[in-house]
Structure 1
Amino acid sequence: MPHQLTRPALPLAAAAALVGGVLVLGAPDHAGAAVPDTIPLKITNNSGRSEPVYVYDLGTQLSSGQQGWADANGGFHAWPAGGNPPTPAPDAAIAGPTPGQSKTIRIPLSGRIYFSYGQKLDFRLTTGGLVQPAVQNPSDPNRNILFNWSEYTLNDSGLWLNSTQVDMFSAPYAVGVQRSDGSVSSTGHLKSGGYNGFFNALRDRSDGWAGLIQTRSDGTVLRALSPLYGVETGALPASVMDDYVNRVWQKYTTSTLTVTPFADQPNTKYYGRVSGNVMNFTNASGAVVTSFQKPDADSVFGCHKLLDAPNDTVRGPISRTLCAGFNRSTLLVNPNQPDTSAAAFYQDAVTNQYARAVHAQMADGKAYAFAFDDVGNQESLVHDGDPRQAYLTLDPLS
């Protein structure tokens, strides 16, 4: 089945969509490109694992809009036509660095950089494009492969590169960018022992969160699914957020939730009050601008469905603020949102325990643990308008 993204873990500067199972990334066009068509990506294998590593650069060539893959030299190759049922995609694998070594490739696309250990990933093509791995599906051919990916946009405005746990927490890695002055910015490293610490945090709970963990028949821990996929597959109880959502709805029946969605527009405010099953938001004039039905866990974890966030200037910004507040459980303790104080996040007994564990194990506290984790600048993202080199560091699974 095609992989359906909840929300690409990319900056607001980048627009994204999933077309026929293909991740299509882009950003505003700018005349007079200051950024080369390709930049070097230095991949360092600090994983400590002995298996071969395979790397893939998949996505969309912004200059042509074509979907395809890139070779190690940055050469672009458009995907051939797919079929129904899906047909095997061309082998886009690049041999990665051996343990303790580095390898530099050139990246020309905007999309995803996959890496896998010990086995090549199985990509297929449908009539609509590339089928992304969807390991929440037990029959997905990549289900028993240890792999992960990073997402990026490269265009005339520079490079945006992030680590992501929006869909799953798996083989750890960090990303970085070298600026024109030679300095390097990086993010995504776990604390020492953070990989095992994350899984232990889920295992130590008795309320179903350990059900997110997937292991191979040989005992290898492969990943933890995001709670969105946990709910969708039944690995996590669908009622897991009900108590918190009900308390939020009760509170704002008699009080007002104030949302100031734009940090640079402090006078743009919306006011939420609950009436029955609906939270209505009004503007400063008292006119209702948008309304939300009481969300379920699926909507909260995916920031979609009942918390849909269109790319507009009103509903989308309010929805992303609500989504962050529900996942971080800040809506009861602070009637002014977004709450950007990380010390206040995940303190309620009912919260996104997956996101809580991810952030707790990050060396800098930054992560993309759910779709709108960039609210309040909590995301694991590097960006530079004049990048000289990008970095992908494969870290130990310990």
Structure 2
Amino acid sequence: MNPRRLSPRGPLSALSGQTLSRRGFFGATAVGALGVVGGLGLAGGSTLLTPTRARAAGNLPITIVNNSGAYDNANVYIHVVGTLITTGQQGHVDQSGTFIPASLGDNNQPDGSAVYGFPLSDWGTVSLPEPISGRIYISLGARLPFKVVGTDAGPGIAHPAGWVDSDPSFGILYDSFEFTHQNGAMYCNSTQVDMFSVPIGIHLQGVNDQRVGFIKSGARGAFFDKLRNTEGFSNLVVDDRRVIAPSHGIGAGRFSATYFDGYIGESWDRYSSAEMSVNTGTAQYQLRRDGDALVAYQSGAERVRFDRPSTADVLFCNGNLAAPNDGLRGPIAAILGAALNRSTMRDYTNQPTTDAAQFYQNSVTNHYAAATHDAHSDGRAYGFAFDDVSAFASYIEDGAATSVELTIEPL
């Protein structure tokens, strides 16, 4: 099977009462396989922002600034791919700002790939149409090869999978910016859920003036060094090209599939004799162990139960920790997943924990996610898909966006 995934999976549920998040539009990714095809819909309990300032045109200008210090604009390539929200069609955005539905005929290169990228020297500003959800991929030194494949839902785009050795993108330096642009509003984030490679800072202007995704001086090199010297995580480092997220590292044979198992067991055991209080923002639950499951009770009545997750479930925020769009299991699963990744579940009976000083303190923890937060100047990052729990994710939104500036930070 082709290891590259189709356009981002979704939707998983955002925490009830919150506005749209990365999980709401992008979800978790498949393990070493093609992802699920489909439109990226609204998460249950989420709300679209209402524009408060008119923008003359439907297209949103996105300017890319190259501060890499290693590649000139002619060797920086921009690729805009995504899903048209109104129809569910997958495709790319061309240099005029037009959405072009994907076609099998796009695979017209000698290697059978599709060309969706243009040099930054030819395309300093992206004109982003709406309504669309997707990604802007930025690659350095070479275009990224995409592939259009036939699916039951129509032509789908297989995205790069830089964590798979055999993928055509593996030798290319690249990263991505995630977005949903709809009704004049912009929802966007930088992400390290798949890997950490090229840091991309985001400056979103509209009703507010917001920045996210910028890293500290020298932080990229420090990040690589930190993971190279962390037991169990060193094999995730691929030269100076990228650090693969531990979730993908399992399928790539670079990370232990049982890494979290001991800590999961200790956390489950704790609630044989203690009770966890979980506040989702709209409801309060008490969790206690029953057999090998954690059961959520409300007013003494059982509401939902969670079987013990695997290490992969914790890292992918999926499987026994999948967050369906139901307003019940989803919000609780997100909080449990965050508590396990941040290693707070065993020691703190009130969840979610909101004090970052309590995160990642156990020897068994998501050291990759911890390092992503350390690298960013504001401490916000997307080290795993539930990193938006308690608002620690590198996510911003504006109901009447007027411009976006993406900065390729120094390598």
TM-score after normalising by structure 2: 0.86
Q: 2:229 aligns with which of 204, 224, 241?
A: 204
The 5 A counterparts of 1:162-241 are 162-180=189-207, 184-205=209-230, 207-215=231-239, 221-241=240-260
Superposed displacement of residue 62, structure 1? 2.7
Q: Is the 8 A contact 2:39 2:85 kept in 1?
A: no
Structure 2 CA distance for partners of 1:247 and 1:31, relative to 1, 3 Å:
closer
- Partners of 2:294 and 2:344 lie apart in 1 by 17
**Deviating more after overlay: 23-32 vs 325-334:** 23-32
4+ aligned runs moved over 2 Å, structure 1: 4-10, 12-37, 61-66, 81-84, 86-90
| C-alpha separation in 1, matches of 2:312 and 2:401 | 38
Distance 2:170 2:395 in 1: 27
Deviation at 1:70, TM superposition (A): 0.7
Stretch of structure 1 that moved more, 354-363 or 14-23: 14-23
CA contact (8 A) 1:329 1:347 kept: yes
Does the residue aligned with 1:25 lie in a helix, a strand or coil? coil
CA contact (8 A) 1:163 1:175 kept: yes
How many residues align? The count is 380
For residues 26 and 121 of structure 2, what CA distance do their matches in structure 1 show? 30
Alignment of 1:67 onto 2:103? no
Equivalent AA in structure 2 for residue 40 of structure 1? P
Change in 2 beyond 3 A, CA 1:372/1:276: same
Shift of 1:137: 2.1
The answer for the alignment partner of 1:218 in structure 2 is none
Gaps of at least 5 residues in structure 2 are 13-19
Paired residue secondary structure (2:341) = helix
Q: Counterparts of 1:1-398 in structure 2 under 5 Å? A: 1=2, 2-3=4-5, 11=21, 14-16=24-26, 22=37, 24-27=39-42, 36-50=57-71, 52-81=75-104, 88-97=112-121, 103-108=124-129, 109-128=132-151, 129-156=156-183, 158-180=185-207, 184-205=209-230, 207-215=231-239, 221-262=240-281, 265=282, 268-284=283-299, 286-397=300-411
The structure-2 alpha-carbon separation of the partners of 1:210 and 1:346, relative to structure 1 and needing over 3 Å to count, comes to: same
Please state how far the C-alpha of 1:278 moved relative to its aligned partner. 1.2
Q: 1:7–1:222: structure 2 CA closer, same or farther, 3 Å change rule?
A: farther
Shift of 1:243: 2.1
> Hey, what's the Cα distance between the residues in 2 that align with 1:289 and 1:372?
22
Matching residue's letter, 2:316:
G
The letter for the 2-side match of 1:58 is V
Is the 8 Å Cα contact of residues 50 and 399 (structure 2) preserved in structure 1?
Answer: no
Shift of 1:26: 3.8
Separation in 2, partners of 1:275, 1:165 = 35
Secondary structure at 1:127 match in 2? strand
Native 8 Å contact 2:191 2:381 kept in 1: yes
- Partner Cα distance (1:140, 1:88) in 2: 13
Task: Label 1:8 to 1:104 Cα distance change in 2 as closer, same or farther (>3 A).
Answer: farther
Return the letter of the residue paired with 1:3.
R
Amino acid at match of 2:70: R
Q: Which runs of 5+ in 1 are unaligned?
A: 216-220
Partner of 1:24, secondary structure, is coil
SS in structure 1 of the partner of residue 39 of structure 2: strand
